[in-house]
Amino acid sequence: MNRPWLVTGGAGFIGYHLCRRLSAEGRSVIAVDNLEPTYEPALKRRRLELLLELPGVAFHELDITDEAGMAALFQQARPGSVVHLAARAGVRGSHLDPMGYVRTNVVGFTVLLEQARRVEVPHVVYASSSSVYGDNAPVPFSVSDPADHPISVYAATKRADELIAHSYAHAYGLATTGLRFFTVYGPWGRPDMAYFAFADAILHGRPVTVYGDGSALRDFTYVDDAVDAITALVPRTPRSAGRPEDGDASVPWRIYNIGHGSQASVAELLDHLESRLGRRAERVSEPVHPGDVASTHADVEPLRRAIGDVPETPLAEGLDRFVPWLQGYRERHAEPHLA
């Protein structure tokens, strides 16, 4: 119980919120991040500044693909739990730099699993994505559905992670749980995500770019609810026996959807943001990106069976928290340069 939690991507969006929660609970945390400026560097730096103020949190600037560095860290820290959130995220970015995504998301994840099994970490919980379902899965998406036809490089790297985790569970008995996150949003989020980019554009009087006609449906998950699910699942180390619909019952490997279990359209999201910001958006339509799916919707019943609760924050309530944070953040910090 006294061994620390190791959180990769600790200065990232979900990682930052998770470290705050663990610190508040009095846990010892080792946060790892390479601080790569994949989006608005000032925002990540500010997250890091706040992270360094948290009691019980130690920070290591380290790339997860650095085998020697990761080996030294695991040998020194001997973590009791690992939550792996470090990744190159985003569908569109993966088509611009596919090799970068494969190096970080697949090679980096394998480096982490190898070190975890060498020091006998009891449980590795890692971020997957709802994008693994592709564009043809029936809704709501179930973890028992096939996920063999991803339509973006990003989705393919996340599905590869799930399969590599299964191989480690089978070959070495390393317990792993994959979390298919559905559009996580909230304060301190990623500026490249639609909800953040839309709100920022409306706030500063810039046009809002909508890919498609606004009818695309998403299952929006508030960040605190995602953290609730992570902290509830980490102590629940999967065993070999389990329900087949929760993953492969023959090895300690599980997959869960982390979503709200409902849908809202992009147009509805914009309506919510316009209402809260008190101004209309100038909407510019662009063609749908080939890696974007038309709909996401999480079946959260397996998660409910596992932890007895599921993410519950409605989109309207989550945006009531996000918008004031964004307004305050932009008042205190200069608007990011946009090319």
**140, two tokens:** 């709501």
Selecting among 16, 126, 154, 195, the annotated active-site residue is 154
Quote the CA–CA distance of 282 and 144 in Å, as a whole number.
41
| pLDDT given at position 1 | 54
Question: What 3-state DSSP class applies to 91?
Answer: helix
Answering whether pTM is above 0.75, one says yes
Q: Is 329 a catalytic residue?
A: no
The CATH H-level superfamily of 5-189+221-261+295-312 is NAD(P)-binding Rossmann-like Domain (3.40.50.720)
Most confident stretch, 146-150, 164-168, 288-292: 164-168
| pLDDT given at position 193 | 93
| pLDDT given at position 223 | 98
pLDDT tens track for 37-52 = 778 889 999 999 999 9
- Tell me the domain boundaries of the chain: 5-189+221-261+295-312
pLDDT tens track for 295-330 = 999 999 999 999 997 878 999 999 999 999 999 999
Quote the CA–CA distance of 102 and 209 in Å, as a whole number.
28
At residue 220, does pLDDT exceed 90? yes
Q: What is the mean pLDDT of the chain?
A: 92
At residue 335, does pLDDT exceed 90? no
213 compared with 228, residue with greater pLDDT: 228
| pLDDT given at position 339 | 32
Q: What is the arithmetic mean of pLDDT over 99-103?
A: 95
Strands (E) across the chain are located at: 5-8, 29-33, 57-61, 81-84, 124-129, 176-181, 184-185, 208-211, 217-218, 221-222, 253-258, 264-265, 283-286
Quote the CA–CA distance of 258 and 229 in Å, as a whole number.
7
Nearest one of 187, 183, 189, 186 to 217, comparing CA atoms: 183
